[in-house]
A = this chain, B = another copy of it.
Amino acid sequence: MASLIPLTAPDDPRIDAYRVIKERDLVGRGGRFIVEGRTVLDVALSPRNRFTLESLLLAESRIEALAPLLAQAPADLPVYTASQAILDGITGFHIHRGLLGIGLRGAEPSMAELIASLPEEALVVVPLGITNHDNVGGIMRNAAAFGADAALFDFASCDPLYRKAIRVSVGGSLMVPFAREGSAEAILDRLAASGFTLIALSPSGASELSTLARPPRAALLLGAEGPGLAPHILARTLTTRIAMAGNFDSLNVATTSGIALHAMRRTQITPA
C-alpha cells in the first residue's frame, strides 16, 4: 500500500497538477488526465488500467472508507491527503466524493499502430463526430463491458480522456485501447485496407442487427445523434438497423453501441 502524505498548505508545489484543474478541467491535453470517484479509481488502480497514475489526492475524512481501495495502490504512488479546507483552497471546487487522481497519458499509439496491433479476429467501435462527453464515456463503458478490441475516434469526436468522459465510462476509457486522429474517411480507408468489414447502424439498414453475420474483423461505425452518418460514409458500409417501434425511431448513440456490441459478441464469427 502507498503511504499517505498529509498536506499542510494548499500551495504545496507537489500538487501543482491539481491546482490547475480548473483551467484544463474537461481537457485531457497536456499529457495528464483526471480520474475521480471510487469506481473509476478501482479500475485505475487495477491492472486493467492501460495508463500510469501520477498521484492521488483525497480528503482526510475519506481515508478510512477508502482504505481497501488504497491498499491496491503501488507502494511508490504518492497519495496526498488534506483537510477539506485545504482541498477547497487547492482546487477551487468540490472534489467528487473526496477522491481525485492524476493520470499520465504517456506515449499513445497512432491510429496506424493501433490497427496494426489488432488480433486476426477483432471487433472495434468507430465513433465518428461524437462530441458529447456523456456519449463518448458511455461508448467507452460499453466497449469495455463487451470486450471491444479498440475504439477508433475521428478527430471531430471528443477525447475519451476528458474528465467527464472518464467518469461516465466508469473507467472504461482507461481500459479499451483507443486512438483519436484524422478524418472519418482516413480511418475507414485504413480499416478497409486491414481487412475490416465496415458496419454502420442506420435506420434504413439493409438487415436487422440480430440477423447480421459477424465477419472475423468487424468495425462498428457510430454517427452523431441527429445527423447520423453521412451518406458518403454509409455508401461504403454494410448497413444494419435496430428494429424499433414505427412511431419513435430514436436511440441514444451510447445505448446503440451497447445493443450492437452485445448482439455482435453473441454472434458466431462467419468467415467473409
A266 to B244, CA, bound (A): 10
Give a binary string over A230-258; 1 marks a CB under 8 Å from any B CB, 0 the rest: 00000000000011110111111011101
Q: Given B138, B170, B251, B266, which contacts A145 in the complex, CB threshold below 8 Å?
A: B251
Which residue in B171, B245, B252, B265 is a CB contact (below 8 Å) of A146? Answer: B245
Number of copies: 2
In the assembled complex, A180 has its CB within 8 A of some CB on chain B: no
A54 proximal to B (CB < 8 A): no
A138 and B48 contacting across the interface, CB-CB below 8 Å: no
- Choose among B48, B138, B247, B266 the residue that contacts A248 (Cβ–Cβ < 8 A): B48
A141 contacts partner chain B, Cβ-Cβ < 8 Å: yes
Task: Let me know if A48 and B247 touch, CB within 8 A.
Answer: yes
Name the B residues within 8 Å of A263 (CB-CB): 210, 262
Evaluate contact between B210 and A248: CB separation under 8 angstroms.
Answer: no
Q: A146-B244, A244-B146, A245-B147 are contacts. A141–B262 as well, Cβ < 8 Å?
A: no
- Would you call B266 and A144 a contact (CB within 8 A)? no
Query: In the complex, what residue of chain B is closest to A267 when comparing beta carbons?
Result: B210
B residues less than 8 Å from A39 (CB atoms): 250
Tell me the minimal C-beta distance from A120 to chain B in angstroms. 19
Instruction: For the complex, give the distance between the alpha carbons of A142 and B244 in Å.
Output: 9
Least CB separation from A246: chain B residue: B147
B48 touches A252 (CB 8 A): no
Cα distance A113–B138 in the bound complex, in angstroms: 36
Q: Are A252 and B254 in contact (CB under 8 A)?
A: yes
Query: Does residue A75 face the partner (Cβ distance < 8 Å to B)?
Result: no
User: Chain B residues near A134 (CB, 8 Å)?
Assistant: 134
Whether, in the assembled complex, A175 has its beta carbon less than 8 Å from a beta carbon of chain B, the answer is yes
* B251 in contact with A258 (CB, 8 Å): yes
Closest chain-B Cβ to A211's Cβ sits at a distance in Å of: 9
Question: Per-residue CB proximity of A131-164 to B under 8 Å, as 1/0?
Answer: 0001000100110111100000000000000000
Apart from A134-B134, A145-B245, A175-B248, what are 9 other A-B pairs with CB-CB below 8 Å?
A48-B247, A138-B255, A145-B248, A145-B249, A175-B247, A242-B262, A243-B262, A243-B265, A258-B259
Q: List 19 A-B contacts (CB under 8 A).
A: A39-B250, A48-B248, A138-B252, A141-B252, A144-B245, A145-B244, A145-B245, A145-B251, A146-B244, A147-B248, A172-B248, A175-B247, A209-B262, A210-B262, A243-B262, A243-B266, A251-B258, A255-B258, A259-B262
Which 7 A-B pairs rank lowest in CB-CB distance, beginning with the nearest?
A147-B245, A255-B258, A144-B248, A145-B244, A210-B266, A255-B255, A259-B262
